Amino acid sequence: MTTRTKVRNSFVLTLGVALCVLVGCTADPAAEPDAGPTSAAAATASPTPDAAEERARNEVLAAYNGYLETYIKASAQADYRTNELATYVGEPLLGQLLNNLYNMSRSGVHNEGRPTWSPTVTELRLDANEAVIQDCFDSTNWNAVGGKTQPTAQAKKYPVVLRAKRVNDKWYVHESTAQRSSTC
């Protein structure tokens, strides 16, 4: 065998080993590649759809609860200058609430007591950043006092349907439809 043939055979053998290493040849062709730690870390880094939905539902309810707590506080003083509502409420509902507080202030009316509520997120569309909340709002122990308040014939415990939107990763309640002629 000539030196040239030995070099060529050695080169082919080296090239074959190098290719085998590059493409991942194994002794057992049926063996599956190891997922390795990077795949496991990537799987745990992104939340499952169920976890993402649960987190979003909790955030939507937190926005709704924050809105109500802030409105209760503001209505106890008829404080239409509050900036806190904008933390939880978007337009057009924000303007409606501030207008209501302004009218209360102008009339010398404020709320006393405390309502109760029991909301549920009934629709959640993460792809559209939208949610629907249904609630049974109970204003039995929350009353307007002062000024020239008129008794109303509306139900004290009634269904409410609200819409929320996520803007810049934060949920805001932006629409509320109270069905005051019904009870729940």
pLDDT at 12 (0 to 100): 33
User: pLDDT by residue (tens digit) across 8-61?
Assistant: 333 333 333 332 333 333 344 344 444 444 444 444 455 676 999 999 999 999
Specify the number of domains making up the chain.
Answer: 1
Element (H, E) at 159: strand 157-167
pLDDT at 20 (0 to 100): 33
Residue 8 lies in a domain: no
Residue 43 lies in a domain: no
pLDDT at 150 (0 to 100): 67
Q: Hunting for tokens 């809105």 — which residue is that?
A: 67
Q: Which of 69, 46, 57, 60 has its CA nearest to residue 170?
A: 60
Residue 23 lies in a domain: no
CATH number at residue 99: 3.10.450.50
Mean pLDDT of 176-184: 93
Residue 42 lies in a domain: no
pTM of the full structure: 0.72
Which structural domain, as residue segments, surrounds residue 122? 49-178
Using CA atoms, how far apart are residues 77 and 75, in angstroms rounded to an integer?
A: 5
pLDDT at 45 (0 to 100): 53
Neighbour count for residue 156 (Cβ, 10 Å): 15
Dihedral class, residue 78 (left if φ above 0, else alpha if ψ from -120 to 50, else beta) = left
pLDDT at 151 (0 to 100): 64
Residue 34 lies in a domain: no
Task: Calculate the alpha carbon distances from 82 to 77, 94, 99, 112 in Å.
Answer: 10, 11, 11, 18
Residue 6 lies in a domain: no
User: pLDDT by residue (tens digit) across 92-149?
Assistant: 999 999 999 999 999 999 999 999 999 999 999 999 999 999 999 999 999 999 987 6
